[in-house]
Amino acid sequence: MTFPAQLRKITIVSLTALAFAGMVAYMPSAAIAKEKPLAGILQPGTPVSFADLVEQVSPAVVSINVTIKKPLPAQSMGNFDELPDGLREWLERQMPGFGQPDGPRMREGRGLGSGFLISTDGYVVTNHHVVNNATEIKVRFQDSREFDAKLIGSDQRTDLAVLKIESDEKFPHVKFADDVKVRVGDWVVAVGNPFGLGGTATAGIVSATGREIGNSAYNFIQLDASINQGNSGGPTFDLYGNVIGVNSQILSPSGGNIGIGFAIPAKLASKITTELIEKGEVVRGWLGVSVQRVDEDMAASQGLERPYGALVADVVEDSPAEAAGFKDGDIILKLDGTDIEDQRDLTRRVGDLFVGHKAKFTILRNGMQKTLRVKIGKRDEAKLSASGVDTVRDKADEFGMVLAPLDEEGRDALGISDKRGVRIVRVKPDSKAYRKGIRSGYAILSANNMDVFSPEDFTKAIEKARKKKQKAVRILVRNPRGQSYTALRLDDMN
């Protein structure tokens, strides 16, 4: 019996499928009892489409259009009085006021960003850098409605800002996730205004959590959903329509998306925006120290079993830390009985304390633990650096230096007010000191917790550390930008 070619093809395919099904049906159970696959199939709850989610949240996502005025550089017009009379009179007729002194000229610019509403009465969350220095702010919805908005409050450290739409209308809104338990690999959807293209939705996964960027004291969520210029301030949603992050930064050599974007976590964003709405500003606790990382060498030099805590490189004058007796060289180990993991951890936790809180710090000084009690002050963002508790430093130096006495001229150049210090005359090329960034012209102020006044003092400090069988010695280095500690491993010296 023969079949048409098309029928023969269908029959073969069908029989093959039946044969395979039969094999599975009679396969021993031990052979098919495999572990649950981690990818490659649709798990319960996995979306086939994000359309319903985007349709639900998009009405609450807006475009932020700002007008910014910046001063133009002053331009010299020369001496107007030296012009010939005829030319001067003609210029005065053509341009009244020409040649007369006036105030600085301003240049008007425009900026674009994204935002989202968190209440029916028109509170909008966006980025600080989107609205910074704005003289006019307009909020535009996807249905082309546009409203004026005013700035309620802005926080540079977290790059968050809150706007208020000037209207009595009731608006659609979204909410922050109550309890963010984001895992690497979770689906996310970002909605915003990339390159001015409002209402754009992109999907991806969480690439990393707790990501540290630069000197920021706060961690970010890393995303691979497409985020580009103009997405700043827009929301990232989970599959339930809750905001898990506020898009803030991208990593890109060209300014376009390469799959690495960063969002401010919802827990932090919710806390900051609530405070901005209630107070118009974020009030943070202030200790008044400049801190740096405790690395393995530094920990070894101080007898710590593991690197943890924050090393005090400098104490701010007239600060709560100075009043409490903090000194440069102290290692802050605990705050109110809980370990300090690193300088970022200290920064976050001090900032979260309310002004006037009487905090208890456990410090390590000269090999001995000590408790200092501090009345936390208020941080003045206008006067202090936006990174770290005051300044977070992270430097390391090694041997390979030629030292000499430090004269008054060198002291003045480095801003050293006392008589301490030896000058670093030369750093050998490709030495450990050079590779770590130390350069000629810097000064060493102390070594092994001993003040250094001469190269001989430095040598004695090293010898003393060796006699104690220390693995490393700690030194305080001064450069034109300030001072910081580092540890030199003694077992690595030639």
SS (H, E, C) 97-155: CCCCCCCCCEEEEEEEEEEEECCCCCEEEECHHHHCCEEEEEEECCCCCEEEEEEEEEE
Q: What is the Cα–Cα distance from 110 to 211, expressed in whole angstroms?
A: 31
- Strands 160-165, 146-155: pairing is antiparallel
Q: Which residue type occupies 157?
A: R
Distance of CA 354 to the CA centre of its chain: 22
CA torsion through residues 72, 78, 79, 81, sign: negative
Asked about 232 being catalytic, the answer comes back as yes
Digitized pLDDT (tens) for each residue of the chain, 494 residues in all? 444 444 444 333 333 333 333 433 444 444 444 565 554 555 666 667 888 899 999 999 999 999 987 654 444 444 555 556 566 566 655 555 555 544 445 566 788 899 999 999 999 999 999 998 899 999 999 999 999 999 999 998 889 999 999 999 999 999 998 766 889 999 999 999 888 888 899 999 999 988 877 667 788 999 998 888 888 999 999 998 999 999 988 876 666 677 888 999 999 999 999 999 999 998 889 999 888 889 888 898 889 999 999 999 888 888 999 999 999 899 999 999 999 999 889 988 998 898 999 999 999 998 899 999 999 998 876 555 433 344 444 332 346 777 778 877 788 888 888 888 888 877 777 666 666 667 778 888 988 888 888 887 888 888 788 778 888 888 888 888 888 887 777 765 43
> Which residue of the set 58, 63, 129, 224 is catalytic?
129
Query: Residues 58, 216, 226, 232: which is the catalytic one?
Result: 232
Could you say which of 159, 295, 297, 314 is catalytic? 159
Distance of CA 250 to the CA centre of its chain: 12
| Amino acid in the structure at residue 5 | A
Instruction: Please confirm, yes or no, whether 128 is among the known catalytic residues.
Output: no
Q: Which residues pair with 114 in a beta bridge?
A: 63
Radius of gyration for the chain, computed over Cα atoms and rounded to the nearest angstrom: 31
The amino acid that residue 334 corresponds to is K
Q: How far apart are CA 227 and CA 209, in angstroms?
A: 17
Note the pLDDT of residue 99. 53
Produce one character per residue of 10-29: b if its CB has 16 or more CB atoms within 10 Å, e if not.
eeeeeeeeeeeeeeeeeeee
Maximum separation of any 2 CA atoms in the chain, in Å: 115
Q: Helix or strand or coil: residue 451?
A: strand
Encoded tokens for 191: 């909605």
Q: Work out the burial of residue 282: count CB atoms within 10 Å of its CB; fewer than 13 is exposed, 13-18 middle, 19 or more buried.
A: buried
Distance CA 460, CA 452 (A): 9
134-140 and 61-71: which strand pairing? antiparallel
Give the list of residues 6+ apart from residue 165 with CB closer than 8 angstroms, or none: 117, 122, 123, 124, 139, 147, 148, 149, 171
Reported as half-sphere exposure (CB side, CA atoms, 13 A), residue 124 has a value of 36
Domains, in order of start, for the chain: 187-266 (2.40.10.10), 285-393 (2.30.42.10), 401-492 (2.30.42.10)
DSSP state of 319: S
Give the sign of the dihedral formed by CA 71, CA 72, CA 78, CA 84.
negative
Active site residue 357: no
Joined tokens for residue 87: 């030319």
DSSP 49: -
Mind giving me the DSSP string for 147-209? EEEEEEEEETTTTEEEEEES---------B-SS----TT-EEEEEE-GGG-TTEEEEEEEEEE
Residue 381 region, left (φ>0) first, then alpha (ψ -120 to 50), else beta? alpha
Q: How far apart are CA 442 and CA 427, in angstroms?
A: 10
The partner residues of 286 in beta bridges, in order of sequence, read: 377
Q: Cβ neighbours of residue 208 under 8 Å, at least 6 residues apart? A: 184, 221, 222
Left (φ > 0), alpha (ψ -120 to 50) or beta: where does 438 sit? Answer: beta
Model-level pTM?
A: 0.63
pLDDT value, residue 196: 83
